[in-house]
Structure 1
């Protein structure tokens, strides 16, 4: 297989997604991504309630949130590699079951360290989820739709973010109204955890690791899928070349991830503290902010694929979207450094999150572009940057809020976006080929 075939021969029209089995695969993954982010971010909506119930300050709560990212960051590469070895079907089944258990355990936390333990378990179980899902997409999705596929599933994850404040806030209010021995915030974690287990069962029933083994796949659809990924065995992983290619992308992903964790962790508390909002109102305004990401993910993925088909230039098509997203996000965060009203803060945060999420699908598409045979491992390398950001961002941000207020933490976030934009401007993705075949710069 030549690198030119994989990277620089755009199709005149996009390969169909609808009316194919791959569309159903993407739909199942969309549901998983939405649930995954419900599981991850329900803690931020419940944060003020949890902090009061467990007697935690902002720094301690930041530590609990960051606990998720310790195993999540450290096991990204390992998790992606394991997912490739055992297949996405079995791997995502067990991942879904175990992260459901971890979510339920969060609801039974009685103090800081039990909360930390539950979040560690959630990070451990979810560390392989998105790299393994990327491996599944690489087997089913034609290369010219990589950005779209990643955009759609990550839009679903942001939909999970957006509805989490309303769903979790509603469950907390409803649960408290029952006047049982279980608090409303605990009921919310129990029900969302059970939802994860139900999804895992549906995935195990419906998905197949090799498209040709699916009972409803057609010859036409098989002809649109990269044939080299239909092989039962994959080539040996070229670790050195993968690291050299993906490391700059991981650095960009760190800056992106730092700011994303700010949105996912601290926006409910920022709105509640700054504008003295009750749960029902700050949940609503948080959802309005996070809706921008739902749109941004799909738009970013579709725009990146459009540029690739139009120009045939992988580097420029991916880099252009990253630069627009990073620069736009930092520009719209800037008003938060000055005096502002609730309306200004909501609009600024919404637009900043929209631009930030333009980057997400592109960051995940790059490993599929440059290393489709090892897309799980490569995307795990890339997402390690996000995981490391998740370790430090909630702790540092929370500690700074406790000591100096909100302006300085937002200022640091703006600086990291600027640094990420510089790296994105100079990085050069390279197609990684099996051993014995020379790498070629992406056009």
Structure 2
């Protein structure tokens, strides 16, 4: 393959392309429900963990291995999952994925000890590995390019809403019938969503009933959404690998929030489940706001004539740096519950400014291979999910909470530095020619 300068795209409008009155709005709503359910399924174990460890006699380290079991196949199969979704199409891919993760969630509720619980979490990670790359592939076909950040912000806000609801839902089910019922209910919800998706969604917007010529004209070029040239692996890795490192730093801290905040509040402040569930929900709700704000903020910078790469990087640095600063009070032992809750909530808000931008970058950089590129990027998050719960749990047992939080601050700082210096460039292929570089309009600040 040869390289050639990329052709300049049409300038992005001052206002974002509308969703109201468009079929893509329904697609985005469906994906919001999927993201919310997926995070309820993967994080409900955190709230149930004190009860599970008591019933099965697990140590903190063993609990960390159970949580991390999700992330091992999740990390290893991200790129593969993204490629499969591009070949099979997001309609079939997401249907199969949600049915399998529904089975895995059901299996979690039927677990009888450490090994069955571990196996259920491994299957859940295996099935969810391709979920977000497949969803990103669906968005690359249905979402106008000037709304990439907004769309990713909205769906990840739904995911964080799932995070925030999970503690309350699990606490409710535990109160009425024990922790297992929470997994049975979400398993049923997952399968139901998969059926609705398969009936309602179409891989090609052209095949959707009732779509207008106006909406089709607003979508990405046909060659982006309807064809898949061979993946330029070397060029893709060069552009996305630094983003994967940033995603690792982000993911490490996110897994701290998703895994250990209920235990932290329970241990440090001697809270009952009904109390720490509400405090955990308050912390996680800050992420719902952060996700939407982060995606809208970078898109707004672009609409006002900013460079898309600079817009994404700027929000990443602000988010990572702000999250670090807000975690600093937790490095001092003996903080009040109010200070700890506010610090955690603000830290999570800033952290979630990053999420939409991390997922928008693969759509910006490799629109024709957005599933593979987003899987490559999210491998960093998956690896963090393997390492973070185990290392964090081991350090808690050895030294308490301050050192694990300090390590999180160091990783946030490193990720912020890489985010500022990285320079991912767009890849497109036309007639077998790989085009690498920044379009002239983008260099001039119009995109």
TM-score surpassing 0.5?
A: yes
Using the TM superposition, give the Cα deviation of residue 19 of structure 1 relative to its aligned residue in structure 2, in angstroms. 1.2
Q: Does residue 440 of structure 1 match 2:437? A: yes
**Relative to structure 2, which stretch is displaced further, 310-319 or 86-95?**
310-319
User: SS state of the match for residue 304, structure 2?
Assistant: helix
Q: 2:304 pairs with 305, 310, 321, which one?
A: 310
Counterpart secondary structure, 1:234:
coil
Corresponding residue for 1:214? 208
Taking only aligned residues, the RMSD between alpha carbons, in angstroms, comes to 1.3
State the match for 1:15 in structure 2.
17
Change (3 A) 1:423 1:230: closer
- Determine the C-alpha separation between the residues in 2 that align with 1:49 and 1:71: 25
1:293 aligns with 2:273: no
| 1:414 match | 409
What are the residue-to-residue correspondences of 1:314-353 with 2, within 5 Å? 314-338=308-332, 339-353=334-348
Aligned residues: 434
Residue aligning to 1:64: 66
**What TM-score comes out, normalization by structure 1 length?**
0.96
Deviations 1:395-417 (A, max 9, x none): 00000001100000000000000
Deviation of 1:230 after TM superposition, in Å, equals: 6.1
Task: Say whether residues 1:233 and 2:227 are aligned partners.
Answer: yes
Indicate the SS of the match to 1:437: strand
Q: Paired residue for 1:36?
A: 38
Q: CA deviation at 1:231?
A: 5.7
Alignment of 1:387-402 (within 5 A): 387-402=382-397
Q: 2:263 matched to 1:269?
A: yes
Q: Distance in 1 between matches of 2:182 and 2:160?
A: 19
Shift of the 208–5 alpha-carbon distance from structure 1 to 2, 3 Å rule, reads: farther
Note the alpha carbon deviations across 1:290-338, whole angstroms, 9 max, x for none: 0000000000000010011113301211111001000000000000011
Distance apart, 1:13 and its partner CA: 1.4
SS at match of 1:433: strand
Mapping of 1:14-413 within 5 angstroms? 14-175=16-177, 184-229=178-223, 232-338=226-332, 339-413=334-408
| 1:366–1:230 Cα change, 3 Å | closer
Superposed displacement of residue 88, structure 1:
0.4
* Contact 2:5/2:435 (8 A) holds in 1: no
Conserved 8 A contact 1:9-1:312 = no
**Cα pair distance change 1:306/1:2, threshold 3 Å:** farther
Report the Cα distance in structure 1 between the residues aligned to 2:223 and 2:289, rounded to whole angstroms.
31
Structure 2: unaligned runs, 5 residues or longer:
none
In structure 2, the CA distance between the partners of 1:3 and 1:144, relative to structure 1 (3 Å rule), is: farther
* Cα distance in 2 between the residues matched to 1:262 and 1:275: 18
Seen in structure 2, the aligned counterparts of structure 1 residues 93 and 413 have a Cα distance that, compared at 3 Å, is same
How far 1:55 sits from its partner (Å)? 0.6
Report the Cα distance in structure 1 between the residues aligned to 2:225 and 2:77, rounded to whole angstroms: 26
The runs of 5 or more residues in structure 1 that have no matched partner are 176-183
Change (3 A) 1:152 1:174: same
| Matches of 1:84 and 1:190, distance apart in 2 | 31
Task: Output one character per residue of 1:147-183: Cα deviation in whole Å (capped at 9) or x when no partner.
Answer: 00000000000000001000111111111xxxxxxxx
Cα distance in 1 for residues equivalent to 2:305 and 2:219: 22
